[in-house]
Amino acid sequence: MFRQHRFFRYLSLSTLMFCASSTAAWAASSGQSIPEAAHQNWWWGLSIVMHGEVESVSNLDGGIATGTTATGLWKGGIALHTGKAGWWQGGLFVVEGLAADSGAPDNLYVGDLQGVSNLTTPYPHMARLYKAYYRQNLGPYTLRLGLINPNDYFNVTGVAGQLFNASYGIYPTITANLPFTPTYPYSSLGVMTSATWGGSTLMVGAFGADGVHPFRAPWGGNGMIYHGEVDQSLPLGLGTATLKVGGYYNHDYGPYLTQNIAIGPAPSQGGFYGAAEYRWKAGGNDWGAFLQGGGAPNNAKVSPVNAYMGAGLRLRHFITGSLGSTLSLGMNRAWLRQNGAETSLEINFRQPIFKGFYVQPDLQYIINPGANSSENAIPNAWVAILRIGWHYHLTHQHT
């Protein structure tokens, strides 16, 4: 465990000595990506942003066994704003890499289905080019083309962004049925477009199905996954409600994906999802609530996880003089078609320490880990996570 921390400790310290830091516009990303909004102009349209997180995950009671493991994640991105560089307006080139040193709390200790931490990766050590794409804004229309994580844009519930259980970021009806689909820590070559009119947004995209080896057969040579989503925001009472409805369809073209890396047990499958978010202000605080749901109406062999639902509440800026303090509560449930269901209850607190740094403790109670039948049930588990993170960007302005 201490070896796992060593790389990230040295990387964090050396990076801080090299750069001056400042807090950017930083919203939580379901895909664990650096948000486009964090890329502020530094020098002649260039932007450099870095983000690091380390965490300990402890199964305190129940599950497979008690024990502690650790994970660290570092991301670095560079972007070029074409307008700020004196070229054409609305263009943005983005390149981002990541390195992760991950424990395996779900397999070693908890035995759960959904994933107690959204930092955990399938392999213990990963370093890869995560994103490399071009974005062009044309009035109400936006086009993105290149190496993209679709989950940065599709199946996103912003109010749930601080909760650690992975299902709040992308539903297990997608990740458990398509385990190597392009979502964190994977991405694939693809193209997507969106259009916004007032409070309405329409998004569609097509991406390579193989997130593990996105350059092995570029542009969908082994298969494709298609996403579509409609979002609608409208004023309601004291705040704003946002409704999201979307769907996906995955099709593999040969035995490589279905057999060699087990991206899915059948060549084709699809599903749907929806989310409702409500944000309002009361008593000087920012409140948010969300409701999630998704389904995969395929047979059990194709989609073992056939349904998911989640709900929660968020309170921000509730500590006087501490902008950014956030308390989040969540509950989610995933159903296995041929067994039972797994339920997670979570409470999470994020507290900024000083500029660019924060600490984030989390406690989860997992009921029926693994969604097993009664004769194979694993004891309910208490899981505690402590995460420390930092992010910054260069901010000198030269025009």
11 pLDDT higher than 70: no
- Other beta carbons within 10 angstroms of residue 91's beta carbon come to 17
Mean per-residue pLDDT for 274-288? Answer: 93
274 or 337: which leads in pLDDT: 274
* pLDDT at residue 202 in the model: 98
- What per-residue confidence (pLDDT) applies to 127? 95
Distances (CA, A) of 182 to 65, 154, 200, 273: 31, 12, 26, 17
Residue 42 has a pLDDT of: 79
Binned at pLDDT 50, 70 and 90, residue 256 comes out as: low
| Spans of all domains in the chain | 2-393
Confidence of residue 104 (pLDDT cuts 50, 70, 90): very high
Q: How far apart are CA 46 and CA 91, in angstroms?
A: 12
Q: How far is CA 64 from CA 103, 118, 235, in A?
A: 15, 20, 46
Min mean pLDDT across 9-18, 134-143, 280-289 is at 9-18
Residue pair 316/286 in contact (Cβ under 8 Å)? The answer is yes
Digit-coded pLDDT (tens) for 25-52: 444 555 678 888 888 877 888 999 999 9
Domain 2-393 matching CATH 1.10.10.10: the answer reads: no
Residue 16 pLDDT exceeds 70: no
Report the percentage of the chain scoring pLDDT > 90.
67
DSSP labels for 264-279? -SSSEEEEEEEEEEEE
pTM, rounded to two decimals: 0.88
Q: Which residues contact 209 (CB under 8 A, 6 or more apart)?
A: 178, 181, 182, 188, 220, 222, 223, 224, 225, 250, 251, 252, 257, 263
Would you say residue 83 has pLDDT above 80? yes
| pLDDT for 213 | 87
